[in-house]
Structure 1
């Protein structure tokens, strides 16, 4: 599913990793060079000034021995001694200043590295949720197209045994070509499932789904051009599988403005598709990172470690509601991005999230 897009996520990951390696190498090199200047060169100056002081002391001793004849030389020796002390103080001040500047430089580079790492996590989070958006956009196209199939329209118009068998056979053909679906249901306006594409696997014909949210929303659709994009739910009639249900109106003669005849519901096999995306994000250390998809209520709907799906609520902090980074109380770096939607699919307020505990 969307292999090219998954490869694009990998390329972003590899590019970000290369950038971080370059910055780390720069920090090491600059620290070493500045340390050499701050400590090595200034200590050489201090060594020279120490020698000057010794020479000045020796000169003072010799001038004292020379008596009056050495008095003038003593003044020079004192000046040399004073200059040496000044140079020594300058060397100490230089070392302190360079050490301070080095610390500031390292902090600045560290902040830059943090921002770069955070930006990369945001990019990866965006790519993950974009893959889902594009995939689910295709689902909205599928359901509106298949709702106009003549076998589906005929069955919804009059559910004779022959029409039901034909519709079921037609839905089965669709399922054989589109492996991302668990089942397709053709429902009457009262919520009764008239036909499905996998009757040998799911014996749902005759069941009533009038109480399910996606069906209620589908009854309120204004035309055949509209659709319902359902949130991720476990579907008891499909062995409690995790599904995203998409619906469209079945209308008279397959026309978008035709009278409503029924509802076509397609159940996207969510778990394996979402797993392929979140586990396809190439983070630096999979053992210390977690890739998540969250719904609008911050419920985990996919996780690279397989934990918490549909049960865990992630405490996402969204000071900026669209995207951003922050560190949580444990020190983990969090990068997130809100779904941007894709073409006519606006998205459902989902987030891509990367949790990195690499420090």
Structure 2
């Protein structure tokens, strides 16, 4: 009868192991399928972000290509050359009318300015800017403009605040008005680009949208200069002139032209696409003008959990350990594993009574100075002291929807341990346990040792720390321990 009972127990254990193994394989297949689907979706989003960033920078380059052409074309107006060569009140009025007509047709400019060889403003396109007439332009681009000797060349300001644009930052494109004879500059024309609405429209069109055409919540797009400062932003959190919240390696973009990746920002994983300005036709490719600008498109993928970077690794390690069954005849024991924050811990399964829900945890009447005692939990009619294991191990507290209390036998009494999530119950060979004393000289860690795991490729997959529950129980019997126990009971 005894032999039959032992055989049944052994058979039951094998059966349960095979069921567990099948369950793990099924879970692995499901996890792999979900993982593949997740990677496919994320890859598609990143591709869209990169595509939208490339779209934004291409539209910007084409827009500014036209501005570089406009200033040179209008500088060829014979009336401008004639008036600058022989100034008169009537001539200045005529130039103002011509500029106003041009500006009425080209609304991408906030003002058009004609100036002489001294940099003095002769005429403007906007009546509201008439006070500029007679004033001298002190900006460095005015001198560069007057140094141009052919109608094939142009000058452009840095993207910076200017009084010509209400102290906001913009670009000013200029060309010299050449004398019909002698190749001498008679003055220049400056076009003040209305950058704020123009760039904003480009970024608005580059945002990823839902089926109804609304921008995806939390998404944003930026134009960023070579110095890392924002030129334009679709999000008011990132004002013009501020540093970009998502720095991009310009050298990588210089080599590849565009890129996509995942960045952590403000507690969220973001899919980010970036593209570097490449110019358009001769603009910024062969005309001598160089100004690095990067377009960014970002979309939130999800929250960054406090332990998200490590919990999956621990989960993979537990599956690897569970799949590694000790050989027959080898001394082995089962370990009930669980997670606390990013740490993977366990206790001998023989010391486990059960795991219960954390609901119903009662606060203790006496608080421990180190916050070790969380309170007590009624178990089978008896109050059980519940410890914050994270505090004891020096792990930052981290709440979890999966938190449970593991009831254990420790040093002749019953204790509860708060854990963030339960793990598998693998069987490990005693020889695989590395005693803690062989790894560290610290004696205050209540652990028996650690078990290193490897995946199917033989690569390190994680580390399991095996706790010493008797030392945990002794902690309550030590200094201050009885008072804590009485407080709970």
Q: Deviations over 1:328-352 (max 9, x none)?
A: 3533422211112111222621111
Instruction: Write the distance in 2 (CA, Å) between the matches of 1:84 and 1:326.
Output: 47
Helix, strand or coil at the partner of 1:355? strand
* Equivalence for 1:351: 294
In 1, Cα distance between equivalents of 2:226 and 2:111: 26
Question: RMSD of aligned C-alpha atoms?
Answer: 3.1
Secondary structure of the corresponding residue to residue 123 of structure 2: strand
Residue pair 2:207, 2:220 contacting (<8 A) in 1 also: no
Paired position in structure 2 for 1:147:
75
Question: Are 2:248 and 1:318 aligned?
Answer: yes
Of residues 93, 97, 100 in structure 1, which corresponds to 2:21?
A: 93
Q: Which residue of 1 aligns with 2:264?
A: 328
Query: What is the rounded CA distance, in whole Å, between the counterparts of 2:264 and 2:20 in structure 1?
Result: 41
Q: Distance in 1 between matches of 2:16 and 2:111?
A: 84
C-alpha deviation, 1:212, in angstroms: 0.9
Q: What are the ranges of 5 or more consecutive residues in structure 2 without an aligned counterpart?
A: 210-214, 285-289, 303-489
Provide the C-alpha distance between the structure 1 equivalents of 2:218 and 2:238, rounded to a whole number of angstroms. Answer: 17
Q: CA deviation at 1:166?
A: 1.6
Q: Does residue 1:226 correspond to 2:153, yes or no?
A: yes
Count of residue pairs the alignment pairs up:
281
**Against the structure 1 CA distance between its residues 342 and 111, is the aligned structure 2 distance closer, same or farther, given a 3 Å change threshold?**
same
Q: How far apart in 1 are the matches of 2:236 and 2:265?
A: 23
User: What TM-score, normalized to structure 2?
Assistant: 0.52
2:199 match: secondary structure: helix
CA separation of 1:329 and 1:274: change in aligned 2, threshold 3 A: closer
Instruction: Specify which structure has the bigger relative contact order, considering alpha-carbon pairs within 8 angstroms and separated by 6 or more residues.
Output: 1
* Residue of structure 2 equivalent to 1:47: none
Distance in 1, Cα, partners of 2:83 & 2:228? 40
Q: Distance in 2 between matches of 1:308 and 1:213?
A: 29
Go from structure 1 to structure 2 and tell me whether the alpha carbon gap of 1:108 and 1:217 turns closer, same or farther (over 3 Å shift): farther
Task: State the match for 2:354 in structure 1.
Answer: none
What does residue 169 of structure 1 align with?
A: 97
Q: Structure 2 matches for 1:1-359, cutoff 5 A? A: 92-209=20-137, 211-253=138-180, 258-284=183-209, 285-319=215-249, 320-321=252-253, 322-324=257-259, 325-330=261-266, 331-333=268-270, 334-346=272-284, 348-359=291-302
How big is each residue's C-alpha offset from its partner over 1:299-347, in whole Å with a ceiling of 9 and x where there is no partner? 2121112444333111443342232223035334222111121112226
How far apart in 1 are the matches of 2:277 and 2:291? 8
Range moving further from structure 2, 136-145 or 303-312: 303-312
Tell me, what secondary structure is at the counterpart of 1:311? Answer: coil
Q: Structure 1, residues 163-215: CA drift from partner, whole Å, max 9, x if none?
A: 22221121111112111111111112221112212245442111111x31322
Q: Helix, strand or coil for the counterpart of 1:170?
A: helix
The Cα offsets for residues 56-115 of structure 1, whole Å up to 9 and x where unpaired, read as xxxx9xxxxxxxxxxxxxxxxx9xxx9999888655534333322432343333233322
CA distance in 2, matches of 1:355, 1:311: 19
Task: Tell me the secondary structure at the aligned position of residue 134 of structure 1.
Answer: helix
Aligned partner of residue 294 in structure 1, secondary structure: strand
5+ unaligned residues in a row in structure 1: which ranges?
1-59, 61-77
Within 2, Cα distance between the matches of 1:234 and 1:89?
71
Inter-CA distance 98–200: structure 2 relative to 1 (3 Å threshold)? closer
Structure that is richer in helix per residue: 1
Determine if contact 2:157/2:172 at 8 Å carries over to the other structure.
yes
Q: Is the 8 A contact 1:251 1:261 kept in 2?
A: yes
Give the corresponding residue for 1:29: none
Kindly indicate whether the alpha-carbon contact (under 8 Å) linking 1:289 and 1:358 is maintained by their aligned counterparts in 2: no
* Distance of aligned partners of 1:159 and 1:310 in 2 relative to their CA distance in 1, 3 Å threshold: farther
Q: Residue by residue, what CA displacement relative to the aligned partner does 1:35-57 show, whole Å, maximum 9, x if unpaired? A: xxxxxxxxxxxxxxxxxxxxxxx
State the Cα distance separating 1:286 from its structure 2 match: 4.2
- Structure 1 stretch displaced more, 169-178 or 340-349: 340-349
- Name the CA distance, whole Å, in 2 between partners of 1:340 and 1:349: 9
Pick closer, same or farther for the CA change 1:316–1:282 going to 2, 3 Å: closer
